[in-house]
Chain A
């Protein structure tokens, strides 16, 4: 396997909210890398910290502790305005709610071109208009839609506008926070396919945050499973789904309903006791590699147990 370039490195990221007694550890000591050109899926239940992780990476929040290194640069060390602007251009975000994330009083052209204006990417008004119309076409909308307002579009179309807006500044990296959960099944597939197609054409890298596990498996190359602010397991999407190692991942995957009545009739759910997740035994827990590329958060003396578990799958 050729050495892949790390586009994003998240090191011991901590994001706490509140202070003193009422501190909420939304993200607690999370470490992972995202390679150029891949899709990294972050899954977990509500309150697991997956959205916060995404928002901390793009610096919508100031991390409490830890490092975020994007394209070789520590993003917290970006001092000059030009550097910050460039960071903002290279990293973009697509939001969950296509109704709330588009300004209802702006035309589609102005929404999409906002980034183009800020970064001065268009020479004149004519070029700006052409860029917007090209983008609309890229995301599967009509070129004439530029003069319309968001309310004239359906949820799926709005999400396409959100994608066009993110693409407008030619980013390298896009954080997609539950981009399809507000959409209908048949429309979800359209948006996911569009995102995949754009990735291939433009060499984009995605962080895909979602709770719909089957969709995450479909779009992601690698997946991280979060629970209670901690990253519990990381691996290729096949490894995580077919050979889950952590008890929480096992439980999570066993709960996914499969659109096949025969499988459903014989499905056995695995219960998970969250209370024993991080026993207070003074052992140091971190992500440890069990099989190549497949990590589990555990203590040193648990590695053997997980290795055996992984070996069970190979039988």
Chain B
């Protein structure tokens, strides 16, 4: 049994706005196992970033956690004071953001920026921290590190900057690394390099990763487990194989279906737009865009139905009384592949 290092239970977050309360996170539960990568996927506004910002305690001023708990080493992070959070952030839980330029300080040498958390959290002397920073620069693949350590962020390309951000995030050997769309701003070839680096560093520092992205291709390559979010809720949760080859929720179907695979020449889109979270719908939030919606979807929110020990989906289609539906062609193809994989495994 894998060790759970993070346990999020029934998290609810509201944003206070002029227009009213935006219910950004509506009852989200998940856990992260040691050494694993959990990918959270979803559209903008689905709550994936807000979820992780609650974990690291970086919610905006107008946001409020209105319920739930986030257990890290048996302690509820949400109960910690700002001061306690400061000693946690960057040391036990660190984060990398989408835009490497805005997360680096333009007026500081990159060496100082990498050394800073060591001096603050690990009580290292400046000299020790500088040496460790140099080692880290080498590890993240910056060529000529002895010279580049004295450079400023603007002297690096986007991909190199993201490598530096990764170095800063991992320099204290954190237990959890939260990566919020870390490669979205990068070109595909650079993205591939950064993803390889992240996998490599994950092994080296034995960290667990929460990876936020909307790119299902990246998820397929990075994740052990996947949580699919929609309108402030997790609608499906499972191992990467379960989500990609045996998805159960119509929204997951829609997502997989709207990606052009290099082999296909058909593209199905999900009609409509996500619901307004100022006034979330009563039933299944996806009902309005769901071709498979039933009457009950508009009235009652579906609970999680268990598919396997690791796989859950919140859709009424899994209810024993629900009619059997045939998912889109692409999903049927994936399920076939899954059946073949499982058969091969059992042989």
| Contacts from A to B (Cβ < 8 Å) | 45-46, 154, 156-157, 184-190, 192-193, 211, 213-215, 217-218, 241, 251-252, 255-265, 267, 269, 272
- What is the minimal beta-carbon distance from B158 to any residue of chain A, in angstroms? 8
- Residues of chain A with a CB closer than 8 A to B262's CB: 214, 217, 241, 256, 258
**A236 to B259 alpha-carbon distance, docked (Å):** 21
Given the interface pairs A214-B262, A241-B262, the reply to whether A259 lies near B254 with Cβ below 8 Å is no
Given the interface pairs A214-B262, A272-B189, the reply to whether A189 lies near B268 with Cβ below 8 Å is yes
B240 touches A257 (CB 8 A): no
A185 touches B216 (CB 8 A): yes
Shortest Cβ-Cβ A-B pairs, 6 listed: A257-B217, A189-B269, A218-B260, A264-B221, A189-B258, A45-B187
- What is the minimal beta-carbon distance from B24 to any residue of chain A, in angstroms? 16
A189 touches B217 (CB 8 A): no
Given the interface pairs A186-B43, A190-B271, the reply to whether A255 lies near B189 with Cβ below 8 Å is yes
B267 touches A193 (CB 8 A): yes
Q: Across the interface, name the chain A residue whose C-beta is closest to B185.
A: A46
Main secondary structure of the interface of A (DSSP, over half): helix
Given the interface pairs A45-B188, A217-B262, A255-B191, the reply to whether A261 lies near B273 with Cβ below 8 Å is no
Q: Across the interface, name the chain B residue whose C-beta is closest to A194.
A: B269
- Residues of chain B with a CB closer than 8 A to A187's CB: 43, 269, 273
- Residues of chain A with a CB closer than 8 A to B334's CB: 260
Given the interface pairs A186-B43, A214-B262, A264-B221, the reply to whether A259 lies near B256 with Cβ below 8 Å is yes
Can you name 26 A-B residue pairings with CB atoms under 8 Å? A45-B187, A46-B158, A156-B273, A157-B273, A185-B214, A185-B259, A187-B273, A188-B269, A190-B270, A193-B267, A214-B260, A217-B260, A218-B260, A218-B264, A251-B189, A255-B189, A255-B192, A257-B191, A257-B192, A259-B216, A259-B217, A259-B219, A259-B261, A261-B220, A261-B241, A264-B217
**A188 to B214 alpha-carbon distance, docked (Å):** 12
**A256 to B259 alpha-carbon distance, docked (Å):** 13
Q: Which of B187, B188, B192, B220 contacts A259 (CB under 8 A)?
A: B220
Q: Which of B245, B260, B269 contacts A190 (CB under 8 A)?
A: B269
Q: Which of A156, A213, A257, A260 contacts B218 (CB under 8 A)?
A: A257
**A295 to B196 alpha-carbon distance, docked (Å):** 32
Q: Across the interface, name the chain B residue whose C-beta is closest to A48.
A: B187
| Contacts from B to A (Cβ < 8 Å) | 43-44, 158, 187-192, 195-196, 214-221, 240-241, 244-245, 254-256, 258-262, 264-265, 267-271, 273, 334, 337, 341
Given the interface pairs A185-B255, A186-B258, the reply to whether A211 lies near B188 with Cβ below 8 Å is yes
- Residues of chain A with a CB closer than 8 A to B188's CB: 45, 211, 213, 252, 255-257
- Residues of chain A with a CB closer than 8 A to B187's CB: 45-46, 211
Given the interface pairs A193-B267, A217-B262, A260-B244, the reply to whether A186 lies near B255 with Cβ below 8 Å is yes
- Residues of chain B with a CB closer than 8 A to A260's CB: 220, 244, 261, 334
**A173 to B217 alpha-carbon distance, docked (Å):** 32
A259 touches B259 (CB 8 A): yes
Q: Across the interface, name the chain A residue whose C-beta is closest to B267.
A: A189
B254 touches A186 (CB 8 A): yes
**A255 to B244 alpha-carbon distance, docked (Å):** 20
B240 touches A261 (CB 8 A): yes
Given A154-B273, A255-B191, 14 additional A-B pairs, CB 8 A:
A46-B158, A157-B273, A185-B255, A186-B269, A192-B267, A192-B269, A218-B267, A252-B189, A257-B220, A260-B261, A262-B337, A264-B217, A269-B192, A272-B189
**A157 to B195 alpha-carbon distance, docked (Å):** 32
Q: Across the interface, name the chain B residue whose C-beta is closest to A269.
A: B192
Q: Across the interface, name the chain B residue whose C-beta is closest to A186.
A: B270
- Residues of chain A with a CB closer than 8 A to B220's CB: 257-261, 263-264
**A252 to B244 alpha-carbon distance, docked (Å):** 24
B244 touches A189 (CB 8 A): no
- Residues of chain B with a CB closer than 8 A to A192's CB: 267, 269
A262 touches B341 (CB 8 A): yes
**A143 to B171 alpha-carbon distance, docked (Å):** 56
- What is the minimal beta-carbon distance from A140 to any residue of chain B, in angstroms? 10
- Residues of chain B with a CB closer than 8 A to A252's CB: 188-189
- Residues of chain A with a CB closer than 8 A to B43's CB: 184-187
- Residues of chain A with a CB closer than 8 A to B270's CB: 186, 189-190
**A258 to B216 alpha-carbon distance, docked (Å):** 8
- Residues of chain A with a CB closer than 8 A to B273's CB: 154, 156-157, 187
- What is the minimal beta-carbon distance from A231 to any residue of chain B, in angstroms? 17
- What is the minimal beta-carbon distance from A53 to any residue of chain B, in angstroms? 17
- What is the minimal beta-carbon distance from B241 to any residue of chain A, in angstroms? 6
Q: Across the interface, name the chain B residue whose C-beta is closest to A251.
A: B189
Q: Which of B214, B216, B221 contacts A267 (CB under 8 A)?
A: B221
Q: Across the interface, name the chain B residue whose C-beta is closest to A190.
A: B269
B261 touches A258 (CB 8 A): yes
- Residues of chain B with a CB closer than 8 A to A188's CB: 258, 269
**A157 to B273 alpha-carbon distance, docked (Å):** 9
- Residues of chain A with a CB closer than 8 A to B221's CB: 257, 261, 264-265, 267
Q: Across the interface, name the chain A residue whose C-beta is closest to B43.
A: A184
**A260 to B341 alpha-carbon distance, docked (Å):** 13
A261 touches B244 (CB 8 A): yes
- Residues of chain A with a CB closer than 8 A to B261's CB: 214, 258-260
A214 touches B259 (CB 8 A): yes
